[in-house]
Amino acid sequence: MRILSDHPVTLLGVPSDYEGILLDELAATVADLRRHHERPRLLYTIPTFRNPTGSTLPADRRAALLAFAAAEDLVIVEDDTYRELSYDGPAPPSLWAQDTANVVVRAGSFAKSVAPGLRVGYLTASPDLVERLMTGGLLDSGGGTTHFAGTILAEYAAAGDYAAQVERFCTAYRTRRDALLASLEANMPDGATWTRPGGGFFTWVDLPAGLRASAVAEVAGAHGVGFIPASPFYVDRAAAPESLRLAFSMYPPDDLTDAGARLGAVLRSARVT
């Protein structure tokens, strides 16, 4: 959102639930824009193991979203960064893989599946759009891409090491996810709910009624627990729910077990407002 806000575009959020974007709400937003003689051009979404909730858009909604985008001449930018990190079986087919109308631009990154410092990503789209990007000013004079890191990654993948690394990550992150979820199950107070992500880095906790994320953050910090509240993930921060994003990718299982216990204690002691 910060990158896009540097450009002369209007950003609008579309409501979602635990499974992802709500198609009725998207249709209503697009219809309202058209009534005001504005043309929506691009929809950004993370349909698979999305940040911040860890949820995955179901197959029926994927099909409906593609049909809607084709009918409305709307480009979907599919952020598919977390696809390889799937812990309960194969990830569902990407939107791009099911796109028959050339409405999807799929973007991915090796930052999650290899190392964040590489800053190497990839894009799949229609041949016309790929050609437009390849011949754009961004790549003039060899600028815009990290050739050295890209070459290293190409050799790494060709040697078979990339696939082995992804497998190691999936095993480790699955164990970490399970440790955090088990601790939440054992320690969260009544009224708290959370997602069970099938992949990616995050789970999303909805606080019990009456608790404010800002108040919980102050108490949690004193107990050595950190999280990101919902508001930074919303275009309209005032519309954000009282929820938390927990990331499990960085810490070993024992630390995550302890973190769940500490967070549960913080929620039980926080004052209801």
Listed in sequence order, the residues at least 6 apart from 48 whose beta carbon sits closer than 8 Å to its beta carbon are 56, 57, 80, 82, 83, 91, 92, 94, 199, 200
pTM value is 0.92
49 burial (CB, 10 Å; 0-12 / 13-18 / 19+) is buried
CATH 3.90.1150.10 region(s) of the chain?
Answer: 168-269
CATH of 168-269, one of 3.40.710.10, 1.10.10.10, 1.20.1560.10, 3.90.1150.10: 3.90.1150.10
- Residue 272's identity, in one-letter code, is V
Tens-digit pLDDT profile for residues 201-242: 999 999 999 999 988 998 899 999 999 999 999 999 999 999
Q: For the domain 2-158, what is the CATH code?
A: 3.40.640.10
Task: Name the H helices within the chain.
Answer: 2-5, 23-35, 59-72, 95-98, 127-134, 147-158, 161-187, 213-222, 253-269
Tens-digit pLDDT profile for residues 90-134: 999 999 999 999 999 999 999 999 998 888 999 999 999 899 888
C-beta separation of 74 from 30 below 8 A = yes
**Is residue 271 over pLDDT 70?**
no
